[in-house]
Amino acid sequence: MTVTVGFRRAMRLDKAPMIRFNQRTFEFNVTDLGRTASHYYIKCNRVEIFNELIKPFMNEDDIFVLMSQAQNRFL
């Protein structure tokens, strides 16, 4: 893997936010989300989809809609 590919992947994980990536020092720090995702084998693209669907304030109906959409999009 070249430095550019690694850099792009690190930036994508940082945006997810599954890691914190310092571009100046090239240091990686895993976030709780990243640790949980790796423990349950959840891929980055799944986390990105979930991040798009989730909102700061959701009622029960919104959560059920989120879960049904997530199930369709994650399979």
Read out DSSP for 19-72? EEEETTTTEEEE-HHHHHHHHTT--HHHHHHHHHH--SS--HHHHHHHHHHHHH
The pLDDT assigned to 33 comes to 95
Summarize pLDDT for 21-73 with one digit per residue, the tens. 999 999 999 999 999 999 999 889 888 888 888 889 999 998 888 888 766 66
- The total number of structural domains that make up the chain: 1
User: Residue 3 — very low, low, confident or very high, per pLDDT cuts 50/70/90?
Assistant: confident
Confidence of residue 14 (pLDDT cuts 50, 70, 90): very high
User: What pTM value is reported for the model?
Assistant: 0.75
Q: What is the pLDDT of residue 46?
A: 85
For residue 4, the enclosing domain spans: 1-73
